[in-house]
Structure 1
Amino acid sequence: MRFRKHICLAMMAAVLLTGCGGAGETGGSPERSAGARTGAGASDSPRASAIAVPVDKAEAERVARRFVDAANAGDAKGVEATFVENARFDSVGRIYPSRADIMNRFLIPEVLDVGGHYTATGSRWDGDRYVVNYDFKTSGGGGESFSYAFLIQDALIRDVVGRY
């Protein structure tokens, strides 16, 4: 158990060291920083461009809260249930192209297994994306601040651009 905790802390340290300087260096919005434009004419992000229906903003905000509540509770099944199967997550250029990859390669090892806790510090709408700023802390004392730009349709997360 101690060894696993040390591994998780080392992974979090690596993420902190390599993930710093995201959106602030680009000077653009999270979508533009990742090259993912949204809307019917966008071609950079296949999942984003395929969605041309209006966003239900109240519903999207509830889904983002449901994601954070499940993550803060350590509920992997609850977190997983907030994503569509072919969801995409861009974590500062590390692309996870499916719900299984998002969970198994990112959220379980780097959030849930380290006792991660998100605290929302602000939010705004940028086009059809709900952008939430978070302070993130681990049970071992690590922490960082970042934003997630959620693309949410039909009560499920389809795409996230994370900038640290």
Structure 2
Amino acid sequence: ALGLVVVEAAQRSGSLISARLAGEMGRLVFAVPGSPLDPRAAGSNGLLKDGATLVTEAADVSSAIAPLAGARVSRIAPLAEPPDLSAMPPPREDDRAGVLEALGPTPVAVDEVIRHTGLGAAQVSMVLLELDLAGRLERHAGGNVSLVS
């Protein structure tokens, strides 16, 4: 990595440790400014005060890194086109039933739901989205999910 961008960091944040180490390794350190009234931005604002490069758009990073990369970066590459979800058939009833059977009031990893059902990740994600939109799914830390009790 040629540099590190800190978007939001509190005063005692792991991101600040990474930024310090990046600086010690000769990497560029960038920071996105935040409100001076927001404690979640105190660390990133402190980096700016200490000499980090101000970032307000992606071009700020690419123009600073270009000379180090040995190539001129004139623009950010466009994002890949998102997949056409309209081409994906809606989940079948037995797929829905399998996902519901794998869920309960105790949080479980989405990967575990995929293993339990034998369905593809896209199919399970679609059923979970339907449950979430219907207010029947609760999302937990670490990507775990459970049925709303």
TM range (shorter): under 0.3
TM-score (norm 1): 0.22
TM-score (norm 2): 0.23
Structure ranking higher in strand proportion: 1
Structure 1 or 2, whichever has the larger Rg, is 2
